[in-house]
C-alpha cells in the first residue's frame, strides 16, 4: 500500500482515538531503518508512522551535503516506493523542527508537497512538527497558527508542542530547563486549543515530565494525569468533541503501565527513537565481536569478506529494530488493528 492519503491518515488518528490505542512513530535515517520499520508494522498488522528529524535528514543527505530538507525528501520518497510492497498503512511525519530551522527544513518540505500536488501527485508528508516550546507560549502559538494555516491548505496535519521535553535530541539540549517547564498546565492546553481550533487539524505534544533519551528506572518522573487534567479543562469548556490528539514524546524506556495510562487520556502517537537506535546497533556490535578477525585484516591477513560486507551486519540491525518496533505495537495496542483494505 502506498503511503496513506490525507483522508486515510485522518481515519487512522480517529480510529486510534476512538479505540484507545496509539501508533508507534519511529525516526528513520537510512534504508535499513525504513525497511525494519515497514517489516515490523506489516508483521504486527499495525499501521504506523515513519518520521524524519532535522538531524536525520541532514545525515541522509550525506556528510558533504548536510542538507536537512533534501535528506528528508530522499527518505520520504524511499518510503513512498517501498511502502507499496506492504499491506498496511504508514504515514510520513517530520519531528522536532525548532524555530531556527523552519525556513531551511519545514518550508522547503511544504514547498515539495505543493509541487507534488500541482503535478497531480499525493502529499510528500502527512504531517509535520513545529516545536516552538523554547518560545513564550504566546509567540509559540503565533508561529504555530501561521504554520497550521499553511499546512491546512495542503491537507497536512501540524503537530505542535507547549512545555518542554527534557534531555537531548539531535543536538537540541533542554537538560538545564527548570522542572516546571517539563509539565504543561491545563491553562496552556486550553490556550493551545482555543488558538488553533478551527484552522486545521493538529496534534499536541503536551509535556508531563517526559524526557528524550534512556534512563534507569525512577530517574524520570512522569505525571500522565497532567494529560487527563488538561483534556478535562478543554472538554469541560468546549464539549467532548474538543478532545485533542495528544503525542507522547520521549517514550523510550517508559514503564508499560504508564504508556497504557496515557492512552486513556487521548495519546494517539508515541515517538520511539532511543530504544530503536539501541535495537539496531546491538546486533551489529554482536556481529563485530563474534567476527572480529573476519571484519578486520589482522596481522597481514585478508579477513572475511562475508563478515565485513555491510549487508551482513546491517540486515541484523534491521531485524533488531523490527523486533523492537513490534514490541512497541504491542505496548501501544495497535497490533492487529491495521485499517488497510477497509478505507
Which residue in the block uniquely carries the three cell numbers 530504544? 275
- 255 inside domain: yes
Encode pLDDT of 198-250 as tens digits. Answer: 999 999 999 887 665 555 555 557 889 999 999 999 999 999 999 999 999 87
Tell whether 308 is covered by a domain. no
3-class SS letters over 218-232? CCCCCCCHHHHHHHH
Task: Please check whether residue 95 lies inside any domain of the structure.
Answer: yes
On whether residue 140 sits in a domain, the answer given is yes
| Minimum mean pLDDT range among 26-40, 144-158, 240-254 | 240-254
Q: Which residue in 336, 328, 162, 157 sits closest to 251, CA to CA?
A: 328
Q: Decide if pLDDT at 181 tops 90.
A: no
Q: What are the C-alpha distances in Å from 303 to residues 107, 293, 310? A: 48, 6, 14
- Which comes out higher in pLDDT, residue 99 or 2? 99
Return the C-alpha cell found at 7.
483522508
Active site positions, annotated: 95
Give me 258's grid cell.
504508564
- Mean per-residue pLDDT for 297-325? 97
Report the alpha-carbon distance of residue 289 to residue 303 in Å, rounded.
14
pLDDT at 250: 77
Confidence of residue 175 (pLDDT cuts 50, 70, 90): very low
Out of 170-179, 188-197, 207-216, pick the least confident: 170-179
**Residues 342/15, Cβ–Cβ less than 8 Å:** no
Q: Are 131 and 96 in contact (CB under 8 A)?
A: yes
CATH value at residue 41: 3.20.20.70
What tens digit of pLDDT does each residue of 54-91 get?
Answer: 999 999 999 999 999 999 999 999 999 999 999 999 99
Q: Is residue 105 part of a domain?
A: yes
Model confidence over 289-306: pLDDT tens digits? 999 999 999 989 999 999
Closest to 77 (Cα-Cα) out of 105, 113, 107, 102: 113
| Residue 299 forms part of a structural domain | no
Amino acid at each position: 500500500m502506498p503511503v496513506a492519503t490525507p483522508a486515510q491518515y485522518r481515519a487512522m488518528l480517529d480510529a486510534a482515538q476512538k479505540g484507545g490505542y496509539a501508533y508507534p512513530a519511529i525516526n528513520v535515517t537510512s534504508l535499513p531503518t525504513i525497511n525494519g520499520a515497514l517489516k515490523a508494522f506489516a508483521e504486527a498488522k499495525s499501521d504506523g508512522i515513519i518520521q524524519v528529524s532535522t538531524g536525520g535528514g541532514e545525515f541522509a543527505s550525506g556528510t558533504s551535503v548536510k542538507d536537512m530538507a533534501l535528506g528528508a525528501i530522499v527518505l520520504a520518497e524511499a518510503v513512498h516506493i517501498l511502502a507499496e510492497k506492504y499491506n498496511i498503512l504508514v504515514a510520513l511525519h517530520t519531528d522536532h523542527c525548532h524555530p531556527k530551522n523552519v525556513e531551511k527544513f519545514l518550508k522547503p518540505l511544504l514547498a515539495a508537497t505543493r509541487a507534488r500536488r500541482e503535478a497531480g501527485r499525493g502529499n510528500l508528508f502527512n504531517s509535520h512538527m513545529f516545536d516552538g516550546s523554547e518560545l513564550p507560549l504566546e509567540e509559540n502559538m503565533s508561529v504555530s497558527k501561521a504554520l497550521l494555516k499553511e499546512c491546512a491548505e495542503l491537507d497536512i496535519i501540524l503537530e505542535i508542542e507547549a512545555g518542554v521535553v527534557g534531555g537531548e535530541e539531535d543536538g537540541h539540549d533542554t537538560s538545564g530547563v527548570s522542572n516546571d517547564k517539563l509539565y504543561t498546565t491545563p491553562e496552556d492546553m486550553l490556550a493551545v486549543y482555543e488558538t488553533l481550533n478551527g484552522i486545521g487539524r493538529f496534534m499536541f505534544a503536551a509535556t508531563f515530565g517526559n524526557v528524550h533519551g534512556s534512563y534507569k528506572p525512577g530517574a524520570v518522573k512522569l505525571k500522565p494525569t497532567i494529560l487527563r487534567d488538561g483534556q478535562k479543562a478543554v472538554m469541560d469548556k468546549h464539549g467532548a468533541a474538543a478532545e485533542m490528539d495528544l503525542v507522547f514524546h520521549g517514550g523510550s524506556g517508559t514503564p508499560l503501565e504508564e504508556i497504557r495510562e496515557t492512552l486513556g487520556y487521548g495519546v494517539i502517537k508515541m515517538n520511539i527513537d532511543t530504544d530503536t537506535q539501541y535495537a539496531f546497533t546491538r546486533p551489529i556490535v554482536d556481529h563485530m565481536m563474534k567476527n572480529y578477525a573476519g571484519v578486520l585484516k589482522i596481522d597481514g591477513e585478508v579477513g572475511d569478506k562475508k563478515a565485513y560486507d555491510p549487508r551482513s551486519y546491517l540486515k541484523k540491525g534491521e531485524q533488531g529494530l523490527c523486533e523492537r518496533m513490534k514490541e512497541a505495537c504491542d505496548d501501544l495496542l495497535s497490533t492487529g488493528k491495521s485499517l488497510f483494505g477497509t478505507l
